[in-house]
Amino acid sequence: MVELVAIQMTSTPDVQENLDAVATHLAQLEPHKDRLVVLPECFARFGCRDRDQLAIAEEQDQGIIQQRLSELAREHQCYMVSGTFPMQSDETDKFAASCLLYGPEGERVAAYQKIHLFDVSVNDSTGSYQESRFTKPGEHVVVADTPIGKIGLAVCYDVRFPGLFEAMGDIDILVLPAAFTQHTGEAHWHTLVRARAIEKQCFVVAANQTGVHANGRETFGHSVIYSPWGDTLAELGEATGIARCQVDISEREELKQNIPVQAHNRFRSHFV
């Protein structure tokens, strides 16, 4: 059995405060050798100007954020998805929104950079979002083959682009760190995340930001874990906390045999 965990946070502009919040949440979990923990998007710094993320952008495998995450994964002997935090790119005025997967020994197993950037207008207190102004989009689809299953990595706005998930091929678990706005979350969060579980016939762990942040931005919460059939296995409301459940990854096999979607698919992504 694999335990899936989504941590829901109201992250602040203070990096240390947010890292300590992650540690506090993890301290509530009893030991489990096969556990996957997923943090939300922008877990390390949120509620500030996008340009402020540049100040904490880290080099690969260096910096306090990566060091602490590695230590926490090793301490709790779990797989951990870092949500996102800024890492340096080859453009000095832009960072990469990086989502790292750490293993139980604290090792970096995989690294994904958010591909689809949130450049939209929303009918909320923020109004206009221009993520690409300070963020460089990623280019690579990332799937990590681990002892607990094949894990596909995606972030927030990515969920609206099903071609990305087709390009992942067969996966056991999809992780989706997010900072979905209150307005778009109310309309689309559950529909989009559940659709990805059903179409991929995989478990989905979607960890969201929640509440009102320091700059007035509002996020939706409702971190959720779905089964390959689309059943809700665990969900939070608007409070910070942990959504968790234990699953048998092998249950996917019967579903794939009974409804062989991949075999029937007549349209293949050029990434596959």
Catalytic residues: 41, 114, 156
| Nearest partner of 173 among 139, 140, 209, 201, judged by Cα | 201
Q: How far out from the chain centre does Cα 81 lie?
A: 7
Helix axes 64-76 and 15-26, enclosed angle (nearest 10): 10
Tell me which residue has tokens 């990305």: 164
Q: Where are the beta strands (DSSP E) in the chain?
A: 2-8, 35-38, 79-81, 85-88, 95-102, 108-113, 119-121, 128-130, 143-146, 149-153, 173-178, 203-208, 210-212, 218-220, 224-226, 232-235, 241-247
Say how far apart CA 70 and CA 255 lie, in whole Å. Answer: 35
Residue 267 CB-density burial (10 A; 0-12 exposed, 13-18 middle, 19+ buried): exposed
Residue 247 CA to residue 148 CA, distance in Å, equals 11
Residues comprising the chain, all counted? 272
Specify the 3-state DSSP secondary structure of 177.
Answer: strand
Going from the C-alpha of 234 to that of each of 21, 119, 198, 207, the distances in angstroms are 21, 30, 16, 11
* Tokens 């602490």 -> residue: 68
